[in-house]
Amino acid sequence: MSTERVYQRDAYLQTLDTAVVDVTPEGLVLERTVFFPRGGGVMGDEGTLRGPAGALFRVLETFEADERILHRVDRDGLRVGDAVQCALDWARRYTLMRYHTATHVLTGVMFKEHGVRVTGNQLTPDKGRVDFAFTTFDRETLEAGFARSNALIAQDLRVRIDFMPAAEALARPELFKLETGFSRDLSELRLVDIVDFDVQADGGCHVASLREIGRMELTRTENKGKANRRVYFVLHDA
Ligand SMILES: [Zn+2]
């Protein structure tokens, strides 16, 4: 039985009552979860599980293995069948949601307006890193991309979650620029739609409207080979 990914329907849900369905050396499997597992360059969630008699377990890491979501906790003690309450480290998760959605905006702008493709990304609560395949790197183009991204954020576009039959989605390659945390062999694919801007197939957690991102600041770039430019940014409260 696969874990119900409650975070995919409601990224703002911070706590959830559920039960332990498996205990492995790597971590616990839950019936349902609000913890996003590491994937697509986005860090997994941290937080706590409150078990029987109020015992508190820290979730140190959430990740996927063999299509299962594993919650690595700080100590033994939970058993199959135990009722637990998940609680996210919300400040951390919300920051990751802001970075993740910011990355969609920036990569959407760079591709649509400048024809520059993204080849990878790494998002932490401290900074975002995106690799772009420039034919010739041009700092002005990148700065224009950041300025345009901040203008879109200021417009406060809405971010919607939709689901689409997989066969239909797979026929639209423009939906797969980022490939964040979803598996292609599902009957239904999840879409993250920045309304009036860009739609991507995506399994991750996003803010509900762009203004929540704040302001993006380009901090530095690194040359990672002829065509590859690694770009770092941070977010500020608007
Ligand atoms: Zn994404």
Residues 129 and 232 in one domain: yes
Residues 47 and 103 in one domain: no
Residues 126 and 150 in one domain: yes
Residues 185 and 124 in one domain: yes
- Residue from 40, 175, 157 nearest 105 by CA: 157
The CATH number that applies at residue 232 is 3.30.980.10
Cα of 99 from ligand 1 centre, angstroms: 10
Residues 163 and 72 in one domain: no
Cα of 125 from ligand 1 centre, angstroms: 15
Statement: residue 28 has pLDDT above 70: yes
Pairing of strands 4-5, 32-33: parallel
Q: Which position has the higher pLDDT, 225 or 93? A: 93
Q: Tens of pLDDT along 43-74?
A: 999 999 999 999 999 999 999 998 899 999 99
Cα of 73 from ligand 1 centre, angstroms: 26
Cα of 13 from ligand 1 centre, angstroms: 18
**Amino acid identity of 36?**
F
Point out the least confidently predicted range of 131-140, 169-178, 217-226.
169-178
Domain boundary among 63, 88, 113: 88
Cα of 44 from ligand 1 centre, angstroms: 13
pLDDT at 75: 97
Domain boundary among 37, 71, 88: 88
**DSSP conformational letter for 136:** S
pLDDT at 188: 84
3-state SS class at 104: helix
Cα of 104 from ligand 1 centre, angstroms: 6
% of the chain at pLDDT higher than 90: 83
Confidence of residue 226 (pLDDT cuts 50, 70, 90): confident
Residues 231 and 122 in one domain: yes
Domain boundary among 88, 104, 126: 88
For the chain, give the mean pLDDT: 93
Cα of 52 from ligand 1 centre, angstroms: 35
Residues 125 and 189 in one domain: yes
CB 102 within 8 A of CB 235: yes
The tally of domains found in the chain comes to 2
Statement: residue 220 has pLDDT above 60: yes
Query: Which runs of consecutive H residues, i.e. helices, occur in the chain?
Result: 90-114, 139-155, 166-170
Residues 154 and 65 in one domain: no
Q: Which position has the higher pLDDT, 137 or 35? A: 35
Statement: residue 33 has pLDDT above 90: yes
Cα of 178 from ligand 1 centre, angstroms: 6
Residue 225 domain boundaries: 93-236
Residues 112 and 81 in one domain: no
Confidence of residue 1 (pLDDT cuts 50, 70, 90): low
Statement: residue 170 has pLDDT above 80: yes
Confidence of residue 136 (pLDDT cuts 50, 70, 90): confident
Confidence of residue 31 (pLDDT cuts 50, 70, 90): very high
Q: Which position has the higher pLDDT, 8 or 184? A: 8
Which of 44-58, 156-170, 183-197, 214-228 shows the highest mean pLDDT?
Answer: 44-58
The CATH number that applies at residue 42 is 2.40.30.130
Residues 56 and 121 in one domain: no
Residues 42 and 100 in one domain: no
Q: Tens of pLDDT along 88-118?
A: 999 999 999 999 999 999 999 999 999 999 9
For residue 28, give Cα distances in angstroms to 10, 79, 151, 182.
22, 9, 43, 21
Residues 166 and 224 in one domain: yes
Q: Within 10 Å of residue 49's Cβ, how many Cβ atoms?
A: 24
Cα of 28 from ligand 1 centre, angstroms: 25
Cα of 121 from ligand 1 centre, angstroms: 10
Q: Tens of pLDDT along 171-184?
A: 888 888 765 455 55
